[in-house]
Amino acid sequence: MAETRYERIRMWRWRRSPLRRRCDLVEAWVVLGGWVLALVGGVLAGFLAVGAVERAAEEQRAQSRQVSAVVVEDADDKVPARVPADYRVWAKVSWTGPDGTTHTDDARVSPKTKAGTKVPVWTDGDRVTAEPLSSGEIKLHAISGGALAALCTAGGVLCTLWCVRQLMERRRLAQWALEWERIDTRNGWKTG
């Protein structure tokens, strides 16, 4: 049995042809616009996310400072603060702010730390915070956030494009069915 071969005609929607309909050309423009919007929007969202992450990290770094705090209560019978890999426990600590006021908050300290022991903690003035990110960590977070924002934006545009194409396909099939109906009734016979 002979194999049927056909040649794929690329970009047929852009070429002049008596078989091309207006809806085919509209679909071609919609697809082109969607891909351009996905590319440009993804890149723009990525760069905006990188800038936002870097600004937030630098702001946190500027507001945080390390102080020496005093453990207020013994940390003997406390449970670990996080997963088993983190052996530190939560304990109340107290420190004096730059304005002379005394602040108290929970901080993670080594187990079996006795009350009165001095421990270094990072604060933003009123409460204990995590240590600020290093410049390498900031860069990693910024790149990861930018890539995620770019992928989500481009993916959202492409999903919307897919939905629009499905609606256009339904409309095209309805038009074809209407045209077949007109052809059938005009000649007085039915094709199917």
The answer to which of 30-44, 56-70, 85-99 has the lowest mean pLDDT is 85-99
Task: Give a yes or no: residue 16 inside a domain.
Answer: no
- Tell me the pLDDT tens digit for each residue of 102-113: 888 888 888 888
Give the E-state strand segments of the chain in sequence order. Answer: 65-71, 89-96, 102-109, 118-123, 128-129
Do 127 and 72 share a structural domain? Answer: yes
Domain-terminating residue out of 114, 131, 148 = 131
- Tell me the pLDDT tens digit for each residue of 5-22: 767 766 666 667 777 778
Query: Structural domain of residue 158, as residue ranges?
Result: 22-58+136-186
Task: Give a yes or no: residue 157 inside a domain.
Answer: yes
Do 76 and 116 share a structural domain? Answer: yes
Q: CA 175, CA 178: separation in Å to the nearest integer?
A: 5
Locus of tokens 């049995």: 1
- Asked whether residue 186 carries a pLDDT value surpassing 70, the answer given is no
- Confidence band (pLDDT; 50, 70, 90) for 91? confident
Highest-pLDDT range among 27-31, 71-75, 86-90, 142-146: 142-146
Number of structural domains, the chain?
A: 2
Task: Give a yes or no: residue 45 inside a domain.
Answer: yes
Task: Give a yes or no: residue 154 inside a domain.
Answer: yes
Q: Tell me the C-alpha to C-alpha distance, in Å, between residue 176 and each of 119, 169, 172, 181.
A: 78, 10, 6, 9
